[in-house]
Amino acid sequence: MLCPPSSRKFYYLILFLLYLIPLISTFTPSISLPSAPPTVGVLIIDGFSPFHSAYLTDLAMNEYSAGVVNALSPYTARGLRQTAGPGETEDYESHVPPLGDSSKLSAWLDAIPFDLVGVFCESDAGLDFSERLSKEISVLPRGSRLLHNGHLPARRDKYKLNVRLSSSGIPTAGQYLCSSPSEVPFAFRDLGPPVIVKPPIGCASESVFLCKTLEAAVEAAEYVLGQNEWGKYETPNPSVLLQEFIPGPEFAIDSVSISGVHKIVAVWSYVKTDSGYGPFAYLRTSLVCPSDDATLYSKICSYVSSCLDALHFKNGLTHTEIRIGCDGEPIAVEVNCRQHNANVLTLTRACTGYDAVEVMAEGYFEGVEGRFSQIPPYPDPLLRRGMLMHLQCNVFGVVTSISGLDVISDLPTVVEMDFYMDKFGVGCEVEATKDIRGDCGWVIMMGEKEDLERDFKRASEIMEDMFEVED
Q: pLDDT at residue 1 above 70?
A: no
Could you tell me if residue 161 is inside a domain?
A: no
| Interval 339-369: pLDDT, tens | 998 889 999 999 999 999 999 999 999 999 9
Last residue of one domain, picked from the residues 325, 352, 383: 383
- What percent of the chain clears pLDDT 90, i.e. is strictly above it? 82
Instruction: Please report, for the domain that includes residue 311, its CATH number.
Output: 3.30.470.20
Q: Beta strand 209-211 with 175-178: parallel, antiparallel or unpaired?
A: unpaired
Task: Please say whether the beta carbons of 123 and 44 come within 8 A.
Answer: no
**Least reliable range by pLDDT among 18-32, 113-127, 252-266:** 18-32
Task: Please say whether the beta carbons of 8 and 422 come within 8 A.
Answer: yes
pTM confidence score: 0.90
How many distinct structural domains can be found in the chain?
Answer: 4
Determine the Cα–Cα distance for residues 221 and 204; give it in Å rounded to an integer.
Answer: 17
Determine the Cα–Cα distance for residues 426 and 121; give it in Å rounded to an integer.
Answer: 37
Could you tell me if residue 158 is inside a domain?
A: no
Determine the Cα–Cα distance for residues 281 and 391; give it in Å rounded to an integer.
Answer: 10
Last residue of one domain, picked from the residues 334, 354, 383: 383
Q: Are 232 and 134 part of one and the same domain?
A: no
Q: Are 366 and 434 part of one and the same domain?
A: no
Burial of 180 (0-12, 13-18, 19+ CB in 10 A): exposed
Could you tell me if residue 198 is inside a domain?
A: yes
Q: pLDDT at residue 3 above 80?
A: no
Q: Which domain holds residue 33?
A: 5-151
Q: Are 52 and 114 part of one and the same domain?
A: yes
Q: Are 347 and 402 part of one and the same domain?
A: no
**Least reliable range by pLDDT among 24-28, 56-60, 325-329, 386-390:** 24-28
Q: Are 307 and 288 part of one and the same domain?
A: yes
Could you tell me if residue 91 is inside a domain?
A: yes
Determine the Cα–Cα distance for residues 150 and 312; give it in Å rounded to an integer.
Answer: 8
| Interval 9-37: pLDDT, tens | 333 333 344 334 333 333 357 899 999 99
Residue 423 CB: number of other CB atoms within 10 A?
16
Could you tell me if residue 162 is inside a domain?
A: no
| Interval 437-451: pLDDT, tens | 889 999 999 999 999
Q: Are 133 and 201 part of one and the same domain?
A: no
Q: Are 95 and 210 part of one and the same domain?
A: no
Could you tell me if residue 160 is inside a domain?
A: no
Return the pLDDT at 18: 35
Residue 167 CB: number of other CB atoms within 10 A?
10
